[in-house]
Structure formats: structure tokens, C-alpha cells
Structure 1
Amino acid sequence: MGVRRYWFYWEYHIILLSILSLHWKGRNCEEQTELVPVFKIEAPAEVTVQRGLCVIIPCNFIIGPDYTLTKDAIGIWYKGRESGIVAASTDSSQFPDTTNGCFIFTGKVSAGDCSFSISDAQPGDATHYQFRLVDEDSLKFSYLHIQPSVSVTGLKEPDISPNNDLTAGEEVTVTCTAPTHCPGLSPTFTWEGSVNTENTQNNTLRHQDGTVTYWSTITFTPSLSDHNSSLTCTVTYKHESAKTSITLNIEYLPILNITVPGGTGESSSLFLREGDSQEIYCKVNSNPTAKISWTKGKSPVENTKQNGHKLTLSLWNVAENDTDIYTCTAQNQRGINNHSISVSVEYAPRQPKISVYNLEGCLPVGNISVPDGSTLSLHCNANSNPQASFSWIQTDPLKQLSDNDVLNIQITHNIVCICQVENKYGLSNNSLIIIVTRRRSYRRTKLLKRCLKVMEMCFIII
């Protein structure tokens, strides 16, 4: 409701038009046309009201000192130049209500108050209004030159607050305030949107000045799916309605999805063959936009490329040392989140290493010589991915000695032992030559111990 408060003051001087009027002795004429003291009226030049709402037109008037308003004084407002009475300060038995209660004389005439109100304003109410004062038969006066003008505009949209960013998973209360303060015009509120619209409450607050504030609240917990959806509040009056829509901006923690080209969904592990190349995608859904990075173990990697909300990790000509846990991390103002993928580089067995143990411990690496009958423990070790199978064989004659990585054997002759390691990518082997050395032949005769008492000597004959 807007009011152009241009106050007009008008002096009504009704001047003696004929000298014959000097002979007029009574004042009970239909309308005073003789010399009348100053009459003034104070009212806004123009007021604006929204269609379907209300407006109060404040008005005050005074009459000359030669007149005294009685308790029976009546104030009347006409639409246009007395084209029809819209409001009167008396009961409707004298002036029937033709506006269905939409026009009400709110002032107290005996106090010089000629204010009136309009409710449920319609375009047809847009015109000038004229005030007329009637007090018994002694005073009947129309204020013709000061006629407030009423303009009817379209109904404004209701106000929705807050309309700023919301957080997914956090309960929020949104308020819709009606564009009116008119008492008696309680509107109906309707909420529409993807969020839960069941938890609503309508409220009314009456102020000391007689105006009323109407509002409705809706409480809901926004989710990720509500992002960029609309929330609409519609305010409906008797004949009019208006609505306001806002787009929900839901902020949320980054959501990550790790995929590989040709994959059927999110990947948590990846197996590559040595020498292969592979791209790994980290797609991030977040609001606001997140900062994305890749790490290998705990070390950052540089072979990445970002395209919008996707950060691509490129692995080229992978080798054994590329096997690790790769982690994609995304962070925005709402927090940090990460997902990992295990990359395993598979390869054929490397050349085995053979270790030899006897009862005294580990023997030097390489081909060995041992005494006849020695017991040895041969251990074979080889890096491979996936895990390889082990076997021991001998040559001349060809014979499998063991299907394990450890071979326990007693050496009685020269022998070549081969450790063979195999997985799905290939086979590798290593050999060990063992030479038997004969034990030394010591012949010891019986120990003759002769004590020559005389010479006190002991001879040992070997």
C-alpha cells in the first residue's frame, strides 16, 4: 500500500452574490451559499492500494467558528461527483451499504475526522472520492475541490525468507509473508515444491496501530535431490492470489565416484598387466564446487588432468612399483571426502633366488661343494604377481623333487637342482650345481701306550 502524501488545503469562501441576500434571515437552507467562514479539508491527493487488499484514506476537516457540529453530524463519501454513496458515518438504515462492507467510514465526524477505508480493492474502485458534511438542516456542505484519488495496482508477490544457501541434511524453516497488513483479510497460504510440505504453520500478529502481519512457515530437511528445485508460496485472498517461487540452492559435502573407461560402475580395485596404460576417473558431485586431487599412498601425483567436475589420473606403461593405493580427495566449504582405488600391476615371475642352508647356517650364494651325505635345505624365492607356483627338478636324470618353494635333500652325488616358478603370465627358473667332495680316509692303528717306567715316555703309533 502506497500513499502519496501531498496534503491539500483548500479555503472555501462562499461570497455574497447578491445584495438581496442581506434580507435573508434564516440559516435553514438546503446548502449554505451565503457568506460562510473558512472551511478546510486535509486529505492525501492520491493513495495506492494493491488489488484485493485494503487502504485507509486519512482525512480531517474543520468548519467555521459560527458552526458547531452536533452529535447527529454525518459524513458521507461519494464515488466521483456524488455518483453514489460508498461510506457514511451513520448506520446503514439511512444509507444502505452498496459495497458489501468493503468501504467503511472509520473517522469520528464530531471530532472532525473524515477518514475511511477500502478493503478487497478492485480496479473499479480506482477513481476520485468526494466528502460531504451534513449536520441536521443547518449545515450541508460538499468539499468539491479536494477529492482524494485511489489507484489500484496488481497484487504484489509475497516475500520468502531466507532465500540464501541451505545445507543438505540440516533442518531449516522458511517463512512466507503476505503483502498486506489489513485486519480482516486473512489470506490462505499454499506451499508447493519437491521438499516435504506437510510441516507448515500459519501465523497472525496484530500490531498496536491496528495493522496485522500474516505469515506462514514451512519446516523441512533439504536433501541433495532438492538442489535447484523450486519452492513456491501462494497467497490467496477473496478474489486475488499471488505467488513467489525461489530456487533452492542446497550445499552439500562432495560425493565422489571412481570409474575406469569401459567399467560398469564404481571401481575399488584395478588389475593391470605390466606395460599397460590406464586412465582412472574421479567424478565429483558437490555444491559449491570442490577442489579435487589424486595421491599415490601419501604422495601427490602430477599426471592428472581436470575437466569440469572430473579429475583424470593417467598411468602409462605401468611397472611393479606402480602398485599402490590411489586416493581421490575432494574438498569444499562443506567439508572433505575421499575415495580410494587399489591398483595392482601383474607380471611374470622374476628370476628366482636360491638360498642354501645346512646344519650350521646359510651357505655362500652360488654353486657349492659339500661332503658326501650332507643334508641341505634349498629355499627358492621369486617376486611375481599374481602369486606363482614353485617346483624343484633335477637333471640327469630329469626328475621332479618337490612342488614347494623349499627342498630338503641329502646329497650323495653331484647334482643340478633347478627351481622353477610359474604364474599365468610366464615361467622363470634358476639352477644350483652341488658338487660332492669325498671325506678324507684316516687309518688309525690301535693306540699303544707303553709306559716305559724307565724312560717315562708315551708313544703314539699311527
Structure 2
Amino acid sequence: MNPFWKAQNLSSSSATLTILIFASLLKGLWSQNAAYNLTVPASVSVQRGLCVHIPCSFTYDQTDRTNPEKLYGYWLQYKDGEGHYFAHRSYGWAKGILVATNDEKETWFSVKTRFSLTGEPEEGNCSFSILDARSEDAGEYYFRIKNSALGYSYVTQKVQVHVTELEKPQMWASAAVLSGKEAVYTCLAPGPCIKIEPTFSWHTRLRKYGRTQWSQQHSNGSWTYGSNFTFTPSLNDQGKWLTCKVQYPNIWKTVEKFIHVDVADPPKTVKISTNATDHGHLASCSREASGDLDAAVAQEGESISLHCEAESRPVPTLSWRKGNDTLNCTRQGMECVLLLPELRPEDAGKYQCQAETPYGSATKTLWLCVQSSHNNIWGSSAILFLIILCLFKVLFCFVFFSAIRFANQRKAPLREKQPTMKVT
């Protein structure tokens, strides 16, 4: 065989072997790194002067831990040109600034007291918190585990911390603010925190109110702080301002928020009026109406209108109903006008007006009587008959007495012609 081809085959075999060895190493490295995983939010925000709790969990290759020595966890702020030297445990250098750990020997010298490793590395928990956040706390952070036999830095799974300005407190009413009913406004401090308890103060022109401050602890150890403002509003309180101030003693800063009180007043009284003018039969119509219903009388063939109005805040929605039917009405200013043209007997009955707002409703009912034209004819005939009868009686009396008078006048001359006897 040609020596050139023999040398070429040897060279090719060596290259193939090198590739196989390199692939084997990569596979082993990938298998090892796959067991090292960290779960943490990619980004969190914290307001300046407040605090944030960052949940975190991790896994590692248990076969790499060859001794039972305690497992330490370290959070470092990643910065170019900065490093930390683990002098007390001969762990060497790590890139960045150490901020939190469960390694008590490192805590004394280099850890920021505002940072805390709240999780337990032995349980795979790497959660940590930042207290009294400052502008320099913004940046990337990564987690590292170490003991004498195991060491790994999760540099590819960092968390980005953003430090923002302190926000205004949140403020809201627990329910609709109704006139005459107790209302509660809540003021919530901006952001949950640990060991930073703010003070609350309320400022307003409202009268006769109460204030209470409260706090609530969460499962991660953080606290939410708030204050309640309680009062009973009236319509005179509409538009008055209410201010909540939150002061943080650790940063000597106060934030505040104010609102204008918006008082709602549900409709209480509904008024109904009509242009029906037949008052002659109103008494009989009222007897037909059940209960204390208002009544109105109109003539068959007549056209009338029913007017409905009510006062409330906000302006109510007005509607007319007759039985189960909703009737079309025309809005004229604050009134809803129902037109009833050319009335018929079947138009008689109950007409109900409803005033409604999101906070309540009220109704008023009118009983409408429609007088039939047939009844009107009979009524007019009866009246005419009575008038004629009275006239006939008057005429009869006049004729009768006139006849008697005439008869008396004819007898009078006969008595005057009779002779008188003279007595001597």
C-alpha cells in the first residue's frame, strides 16, 4: 500500500476519534447542566424606599454532592469589574458583589444588611428579599451554591431588578357612596413591604368621620398596610375633597392622593300629573281604585297626557308600564310624558311610572277611568228629562193657580148685586 494513503488513513482515524471524544464530553457536560436548573422571575420592580420579595427555587445534580456538608447559597449582584473573594471557605473568586447568603462567616463582612436570603438552600429554595430599595440596587442578580465538594453558579438564569420612584397610594370606596348610608374609603400604601410600617393621615372638610389603620401579613412574610375612612354622607358632601397621606419614616418621604366625593341619591318619590279635566266623576273613579292610588278621569275619545318625574342623583331613567306592557314615553326635561290619544274604554286601568338608577328605584301608580260616551248620552238625557219635568210642574202650578184666581174674580160681581135689607 502506498505510504501516503496509509498516513492519510491514520490522520482521518485520529480526527474521527477526536470528534467522538469531544462529542462525548459535550454530552456529559450537557447531562450535568440539565440537572442544574433555577426558577426565578426574569424581572421584578420595587419602589424606592420599599421592599420586594423574589420567589426562587433550584435543582442540582445530587451525585455531585459527595459529602454531607451544609449547602450554602449566595446571591450576587452581577457587575463587570467587580468580584467577591470567599476568603473564609477557600471558595475562590466569584464575579459580582455578594448581597445575601446563609453563610454566617460571609455575612459579617460583606453582605448588605438590606438583603436577605429567606429561602433554605438545603430544600432547594433560593428566595430572597430587598428591604429599603435604593437606586444602586437596580441591576442583574444571579445565584450560586457551594460546599467543599459542590459548586455551581446559575449565571444563565439571572433576575433583573428595577428600582422605580415611590408611587401614590391607592384609594377607593368599598361600595357606592349613598346619601344617608355609612360609606368606607380605603387607602392602601403603595406596595407590600417587610418591617417598613408607614403612617397614615386623612385631610378633608367632611365632618363626623372615623379612621382606622390596619395591616395584613402574606405567606412570604411581606405586609400590606392600609387605613379606612368611615363617614355618613349627605348631598351637601357632593364634590368635597378627601386626601390620604402616607409617610415612610425610613426615607422621610410622603406620598398622597386625593379624590372628590361622589354621593349618589336613589329616587325616593315619584310624582305623576295629568291634563285630564273631568273632575265630576273623580269621586266614583277613586272608589274603583284599590288602596291609596291616585285617580284621574277622562272622557272616551279624549286625548290626554300623563307626566312623570322624580329626583335622584344621578338622573333616573323613567319608564311607563300598564300591566306587563312597557309603554313608549317622550323625555321632556326631567319628565317622561306618556301620550294617550283618543281614549277608549279599554285604556282604563293602572298606569305605573318607575324611576330607576344603579343605586335604587321607586314607583308611582295612577288609576285612569275612561267615561264612555254612551253613559254620557244617558246622563245628559236624564238631566234634560228632569229639567222638563220641573218646568212642567211649574207650568201646571201656574195654570192651576191662575184658574182658581179667575174663578174667584167671576163670583165677586154677583155678590155685589144682591139687595140689602134695611132694619128700622
Band the TM-score falls in, shorter-chain normalisation = 0.3 to 0.5
Output the TM-score relative to the length of structure 2.
0.47
Question: In proportion to residue count, which structure has more strand?
Answer: 1
Question: In proportion to residue count, which structure has more helix?
Answer: 2
Output the TM-score relative to the length of structure 1.
0.44
Higher relative contact order (Cα pairs below 8 Å, separated by 6+ residues): 2
